[in-house]
Amino acid sequence: MIKVRPPNSLDAPHMAQLLNEIIEIGGTTALTRPVKGDDLLEWMASNAEQSGWQVALDEAENIVGFQWIKPHPNLPPEACDIASFVQVGHTQLGIGSALFNATAAAAKSLGYVWINATIRADNTGGLTYYQSRGFRDWHFDEAVPLASGQVVDKISKRYDI
């Protein structure tokens, strides 16, 4: 059974390790450089009053995924941006669903009207995940350069709360 709760500072190194494995494999996140626990702590502290973070824990209390919402400068104030990460090899186990239920509730309590997810066009798993949550396409960006120099297309999807 998956348990979801807000993260604490002790979770940050484990979250970074999970994210770094995804970054190292490549192809599913726009992030291209490894992160440290301190990076995640900074991200959590930034706009904390307008952000919502969740971690998913397995039965042994290991972090198997995390998700956040936060404001984005390219979105109107009634919208927030979402990012989702599930441990490699643990997709299709209900982790994303459990995270999104908590995240959508957090977005509503923070006063957001809709959630934006911007996904690499080559990330079929991410596109399928957000589509299955009820997100619908609303914007397309072509030839977006990543920090690594790689150029990808991105699809933005919208979920009305």
pLDDT at 146 > cutoff 90: no
pLDDT at 41: 96
pLDDT at 27 > cutoff 70: no
Band of residue 90 on the pLDDT scale cut at 50, 70, 90 = confident
Distance between CA 84 and CA 161 in Å, rounded?
A: 17
pLDDT at 43: 95
Quote the pTM value: 0.92
Distance between CA 94 and CA 131 in Å, rounded?
A: 15
pLDDT at 89 > cutoff 90: no
Q: Is 84 exposed, middle or buried (0-12, 13-18, 19+ CB in 10 A)?
A: buried
DSSP classification of residue 149: S
Tell me the residue type at 47: N
Q: Which residue has the tokens 């198997």?
A: 64
Per-residue pLDDT of 97-115, as tens digits, reads 999 999 999 999 999 999 9
Domain limits of the chain?
A: 3-160
Distance between CA 16 and CA 35 in Å, rounded?
A: 6
pLDDT at 53: 98
What SS3 class is residue 56?
Answer: strand
Domain 3-160, CATH number (from 2.40.50.1040, 3.40.630.30, 3.40.1050.10, 3.40.50.880): 3.40.630.30
Band of residue 56 on the pLDDT scale cut at 50, 70, 90 = very high
